[in-house]
C-alpha cells in the first residue's frame, strides 16, 4: 500500500504543522503519565478538573476538524453550531469515564492530523470563520490548535511548563499576546503595555495612543508564561517591581 503524503507545499506552514504535532505529542505524554485516579484532581484552570480539561482538548480537535471540512467542501461547517456548544461539551466531557476521555483525546487528534494531511494544497487559503467570528485562512487552524495543545499541556498540572515550549512557539506567542489584547482592547489600565524580552532583540508595543508606556521585561519564556496567565516568574516593570496580573488573553 502506498503511503498517503501531505498535500501542503508551503514550507513555513509545514514547519508549523511539525510544531503542532510535537505539541500534541507533549500533551498526550502528559495525559498518559496520569493514572485513572489522577483525572479527578484539579487542573490549573480554575473550576476545571483534569477530566474536563482533557476532554475539552479532544472536543477542540473535533471543532477544528469541522473547519477543515469547511475548506474541503466549501460548505459552511462552523466550529460550533451554537454559542453554548463549547461549554456543553466541557460539561459533558467531565462526565465521561476515563477510558472514553483517553480515546476521545487520541482519536480526535489523529482525525484532525489526517484532515490536514489530506487537504489539497490549493485549499489552504480558503477562508473560514473562527469561533470568535474572525475570517481567517484555514491555515490559521494549525496555530489555533498548536496554541491549544502546548498551553493546556501545562494546565494538566503534571510537570509541564512553558519553558518546555520550542523557541518557535514562544516567538509566536509573544506577538500573539499583543495582537489578542489589541483585538479585545484588554489593556493595562495604567498605561500602554510594552513587552521587552531580555533574551531577544525585540520590543512589542500594544500601541494605546496617549497612554504612558509600561515596560515589562523578563526572558521570552517568562513573559509568555505571565502573559498567558500561567504564573509570574521573573517578570518586572521598568521600576523593577513584580508585574501585576496580565490582562485577560484567551
Tens of pLDDT, residues 55-108? 999 999 999 999 999 999 999 999 998 889 988 988 898 899 999 999 999 999
Residue 132: count other Cβ atoms within 10 Å of its Cβ. 11
Single pTM value for the model: 0.93
Residue extents of the structural domains in the chain: 11-160, 167-227
pLDDT of residue 186: 57
Q: Is 74 helix (H, G, I), strand (E, B) or coil?
A: coil
CB count within 10 Å of CB 46 equals 6
CB 101 within 8 A of CB 169: no
In whole angstroms, give the CA distance from residue 93 to residue 84: 14
User: CB 127: neighbour CB atoms within 10 A?
Assistant: 12
Secondary structure of 42-66 in HEC code, one letter for each residue: ECCCCCCEHHHHHHHHHHHHHHHHH
Instruction: For the chain, 250 residues long, give each residue's pLDDT as a single digit of tens.
Output: 445 678 899 999 999 999 999 999 999 999 999 999 999 999 999 999 999 999 999 999 999 999 999 999 999 999 998 889 988 988 898 899 999 999 999 999 999 999 999 999 999 999 999 988 889 999 999 999 999 999 999 999 999 999 999 999 999 999 999 998 888 775 666 678 999 999 999 999 988 777 788 999 999 999 999 999 999 999 999 999 999 999 888 8
- What local confidence, expressed as pLDDT, does residue 190 receive? 63
Take residue 92 and report the three cell numbers written for it: 459533558
- The residues pairing with 136 across neighbouring beta strands, listed in sequence order, are 128
Dihedral over alpha carbons 170, 171, 172, 176 (to 10 degrees): 90
Radius of gyration for the chain, computed over Cα atoms and rounded to the nearest angstrom: 19
**In this structure, which long-range contacts are made by residues 218-224, counting pairs with CB atoms below 8 Å and at least 24 apart in sequence?**
218/243, 220/170, 220/171, 220/174, 221/162, 221/163, 221/165, 221/170, 223/174, 223/177, 223/195, 223/197, 224/162, 224/165, 224/170, 224/173, 224/174, 224/177
Cβ atoms of 94 and 49 within 8 Å: the answer is: yes
| pLDDT of 83 | 81
In contact, 237 and 214? CB cutoff 8 Å: yes
Cell numbers 505539541 correspond to 23
Cell of 120: 489539497
Q: What's the confidence (pLDDT) of residue 2?
A: 47
Residue 203's SS3 state is: coil
Q: What is the DSSP secondary-structure string of 111-142?
A: HHHHHHHHS-GGGTT-EEE-TTS-EEETTHHH
CATH 3.30.200.20, applies to 11-160: no
Amino acid at each position: 500500500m502506498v503511503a498517503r503524503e501531505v498535500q501542503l507545499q508551503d514550507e513555513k506552514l509545514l514547519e508549523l504543522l511539525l510544531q503542532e504535532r510535537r505539541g500534541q505529542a507533549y500533551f498526550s505524554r502528559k495525559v498518559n503519565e496520569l493514572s485513572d485516579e489522577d483525572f479527578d484532581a484539579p487542573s490549573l484552570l480554575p473550576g476545571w478538573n483534569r477530566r474536563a480539561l482533557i476532554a475539552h482538548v479532544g472536543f477542540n480537535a473535533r471543532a477544528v476538524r469541522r473547519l477543515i471540512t469547511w475548506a474541503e467542501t466549501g460548505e459552511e461547517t462552523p466550529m460550533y453550531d451554537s454559542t453554548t456548544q463549547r461549554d456543553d461539551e466541557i460539561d459533558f466531557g467531565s462526565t465521561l469515564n476515563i477510558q472514553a476521555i483517553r480515546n476521545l483525546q487520541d482519536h480526535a487528534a489523529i482525525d484532525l492530523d489526517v484532515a490536514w494531511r489530506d487537504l489539497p494544497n490549493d485549499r489552504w487559503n480558503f477562508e473560514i470563520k473562527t469561533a470568535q467570528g474572525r475570517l481567517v485562512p484555514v491555515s490559521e487552524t494549525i496555530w489555533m490548535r498548536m496554541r491549544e495543545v502546548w498551553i493546556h499541556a501545562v494546565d494538566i498540572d503534571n510537570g509541564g511548563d512553558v519553558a518546555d515550549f520550542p523557541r518557535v512557539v514562544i516567538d509566536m506567542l509573544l506577538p500573539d499576546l499583543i495582537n489578542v489584547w489589541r483585538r479585545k482592547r484588554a489593556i493595562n489600565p495604567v498605561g500602554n503595555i510594552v513587552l521587552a524580552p531580555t533574551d531577544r532583540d525585540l520590543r512589542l508595543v500594544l500601541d494605546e495612543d496617549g497612554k504612558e508606556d509600561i515596560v515589562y521585561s523578563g526572558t521570552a519564556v517568562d513573559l509568555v508564561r505571565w502573559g498567558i496567565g500561567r504564573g509570574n516568574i521573573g517578570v518586572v516593570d521598568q521600576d523593577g517591581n513584580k508585574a501585576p496580573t496580565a490582562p485577560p488573553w484567551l
